[in-house]
Amino acid sequence: MQFICLIYNAEDNGPQPGTDEFGPYMQAYADYTQEVQDAGVMVGGEALQPIATATTVSVRDGKTELMDGPFAETKEQLGGYYILDCKDLDEALKYAAKIPDAKYGRVEVRPVMVFD
Amino acid sequence: MLSPVDVSAQIARLIREDWGRILSALVSSTGNYALAEDSLQDAVVSALEVWPKKGIPINPDAWLITVARRKALDRIRRGETADRKSGELALWLEQHRADPEDRDMVIPDHRLELMFTCCHPALEEKSQVALTLRALGGLTTDEIARAFLDKRAAMAARLTRAKKKLAGAGIAFKLPEPEDLHTRTDAVLRVIYLIFTEGCHASSGQMMREELVQEAIRLGRILTGLLPDHAETRGLLALMLLSDSRRLTRRGADGSFVPLDAQNRARWDQARIREGIALTKSALGAGAAGPYALQAAISAVHAEAPSFADTDWPQIVALYDLLYRAQPNPVLRVNQAVALSYADGPQAGLDLLTRIEGEGRLQSYQPFHACRADLLARLGRLDDATQNYRAAIALSQAPEEAAFLEKRMDALNGP
């Protein structure tokens, strides 16, 4: 069963580019991705550009409306995700806990809907 | 010949006793908690109709599970389940039709898996408690709502939400992985203990809440049977039994709180005490004692004491040290100060309270002030005692507590 791990963090929280911690942080992501690939559970996953690049789209009465910025003005924003194929929630939660940002932000785990 | 009332009471008792085991077997075979629970409920409704007329079957469990499986099949055929595997499941149920009068049918026991599922940490704690009472205790939504002084609709919504999560979130119906067994068992014990303490807080007349105590003890017994090697499970059961042994003496005829030193020890439940002490000994003998076993041990020392004055207070002080090491909570030190005041005198207890007064949030903890008031009173410092009683009364949440403290305070200036 597939689970998506949505990685939420405030952009100014955790290791920042240009600091000594940033290199090991990026390495931790590379190691983690390698681990889930080797375990055969990795389905996909990407990091996202910062929220400054976000545009929110909605269509009302046939008219497309654009908004500069993310859809919700919360401190913690979606920064990336993994989709993992695990045998159950317990296994998915274990892998989610190993995502480097779980230490700084939060990871929301949800099963992916399956349609017949 | 039994009267119809006796028959329905007997049926209700039978169903309550067997509910958890049958439900666990149904969840295990259908892999769908909500379907299993609804179908078993259907079977119970049938039983309440059929059994008073035709008599209770020789193997009531076989009757219930067989009828429940048929009801599950009906529900799937009516398209009530959105389960992707409902086709396979219908086929399985079709192939496993059985005779409800089968007297030799053996129903597998999956209650342990059911307990771990209901107490899964991905569920909110209160939902874990509600689901455990529903699934293992066989309590109805109404009964659970009444026990927790909740509105029925709110409790129903909570249970529905929890069942949706069980169905969709990928929570497997299985025993935890060996590396998780310890923490997951702790979660089950915590849920059982929460049920117990909730029942202990019932004021008299709140029948459903008082029943939670007996329900928690029953769940503790089941878990002890399922995990015979787990010392803390025995420790928890011992703690609940020993505490329950004093249930009748804890309140006066008028419902007022009666402290340990004023309780009529002759009325303590000796059967509960014997069982509790035996379990405590076996839980303590199994290596490093956990918090439940240590609390049970403290309760056992009280249970064994012929009178309040003849209590082995130094032993209790020592047990609190061990408990504090396992669970560093300043509240424990307050309890220890009481024991210390009887072992080494009120000044020793007061010194301990002075040492810890800055810790945690003791300043807003009612028993801290009540304890200090009592120690000051015993030292003859009546004005200081009165001041502390006032602080304790202001922090009391239950009116009986406040009334008890006021009586103590008034007695300071008495004859």
Binned at pLDDT 50, 70 and 90, residue A116 comes out as low
| Section A76-91 average pLDDT | 96
Tokens in use for B385?
A: 């005692």
pLDDT value, residue B398: 78
According to the model, what pLDDT value does residue B93 have?
79
| pLDDT top residue among B149 and B2 | B149
User: What DSSP state is assigned to residue B358?
Assistant: T
Asked if the structure places residue B64 within a domain, the reply is yes
**Owning domain of residue A85:** 2-47+74-111
Question: Does residue B191 lie in a domain region?
Answer: no
Of B170, B177, B180, the CB nearest to A89: B170
When pLDDT is cut at 50, 70 and 90, the band that residue B42 belongs to is very high
Q: Is residue A62 part of a domain?
A: no
Measured distance between the N- and C-terminal CA atoms of chain A, rounded to whole angstroms: 14
B79 touches chain A (CB under 8 A): no
Task: Provide the token pair at B278.
Answer: 């035996």
Nearest chain A Cα to B172, which residue? A88
CB contact under 8 A, A89 and B171: yes
Q: Is residue B258 part of a domain?
A: no
A1 vs B contacts (CB less than 8 Å): 170
- Say how far apart CA B131 and CA B138 lie, in whole Å: 10
Q: Do A3 and B171 touch (CB under 8 A)?
A: no
Contacts of B171 in chain A (CB under 8 A): 88-90
CA dist list (Å): B271 to B242, B246, B264, B275, B311? 10, 11, 16, 6, 20
Mark which residues 84-143 of B lie under 8 Å from A by CB.
Answer: 84, 120, 122
In chain B, what residues touch A92 (CB-CB under 8 Å)? 170
Interface membership of B170 toward A (CB under 8 Å): yes
Interface contact B84-A114, CB threshold 8 A: yes
Residue pairs spanning A and B at CB distance below 8 A: 27
Give the list of residues 6+ apart from residue B12 with CB closer than 8 angstroms, or none: none
Q: What residues contact residue B236 under an 8 Å CB cut-off, 6+ apart?
A: B189, B192, B193, B220, B292, B296
From CA A45, how far away is CA A80, in angstroms rounded? 7
- For residue B132, what are its two tokens? 């455990």
Assigned domain for A41 exists: yes
Tell whether B183 lies on the interface with A, counting CB pairs under 8 A. no
Q: State the total domains in chain A.
A: 1
What number of other Cβ atoms are within 10 A of residue B260's Cβ? 14
- Total domains, chain B: 1
Task: Tell me the pLDDT band of B178, cut-offs 50, 70 and 90.
Answer: confident
Show the domain range for B24.
4-102
B180 contact A CB<8A: yes
Q: Which of B84, B169, B174 faces A111 most closely, judged by CB atoms?
A: B169
Q: Does B361 touch chain A (CB under 8 A)?
A: no
The mean per-residue pLDDT over the stretch B32-36 comes to: 93
Where residue B206 falls among pLDDT bands split at 50, 70, 90? low
Task: Give the chain A residue whose CA is nearest to the CA of B184.
Answer: A90
Mean pLDDT of B120-130: 94
Query: What amino acid occupies position B165?
Result: K
- Give me A77's structure tokens: 């924003």
Please check whether residue A116 lies inside any domain of the structure.
no
Q: What is the mean pLDDT of residues B352-361?
A: 89
Residue B315 lies in a domain: no
A3 CB neighbours in chain B (<8 A) are 170
B152 vs B211: CA distance, rounded Å? 18
What number of helices (H) and strands (E) belong to chain A? 2, 6
pLDDT at B270 (0 to 100): 96
* Inter-axis angle of helices B181-200 and B207-226, nearest 10: 150
User: Is position B307 within any domain?
Assistant: no
Q: How close are the terminal C-alpha atoms of chain B, in Å?
A: 63
Residue B360 in any domain: the answer is no
Place of tokens 């963090």: A9
Average pLDDT over residues B78-106: 75
pLDDT the model gives residue A110: 97
- Is B402 among the domain residues? no
Q: Do residues B71 and B39 touch, judged by C-beta distance below 8 A?
A: yes
Looking at CA atoms only, how far is residue A108 from chain B in angstroms?
A: 11
Q: What is the pLDDT of residues B189-203, one digit of tens each?
A: 999 998 998 888 765
Looking at chain A, the whole-number percentage of residues with pLDDT higher than 70 is 99
* Contact check, Cβ <8 Å, A1/B170: yes
Evaluate whether residue B74 is within a structural domain: yes
Q: What is the pLDDT of residue A106?
A: 96
Residue A68 counted as domain residue = no
Selected residue with higher pLDDT from B207 and B390: B390
Mean pLDDT computed over B141-152? 87
Residue A82 belongs to some domain of the structure = yes
In a domain, A96, yes or no: yes
User: Using one digit for the tens of pLDDT, what is the confidence trace for B375-411?
Assistant: 999 999 999 999 999 999 999 887 888 888 999 999 9
Looking up residue A106, the CATH number of its domain turns out to be 3.30.70.1060
Tell me the mean pLDDT in the region B252-280.
Answer: 91
- CB-CB under 8 Å, B84 with A88: no
Q: Which residue has the tokens 């807080």?
A: B201
Confidence of residue B205 (pLDDT cuts 50, 70, 90): low
Q: Does B169 touch chain A (CB under 8 A)?
A: yes
User: Does the distance separating the beta carbons of A93 and B84 come in below 8 Å?
Assistant: no
Looking at residue B249, the DSSP 8-state letter turns out to be: G
pLDDT surpassing 80 at residue B96: no
Mean predicted lDDT score pLDDT of chain A: 94
Residue B79 has pLDDT above 90, yes or no: no
Q: What is the mean pLDDT of chain B?
A: 89
Residue B204 reports pLDDT greater than 70: no
pTM, two decimal places: 0.86
Q: Which of A87, A89, A93, A110 to mutate to test the interface with B (most CBs of B within 10 A)?
A: A89
Asked if residue A57 belongs to a domain, the reply is no
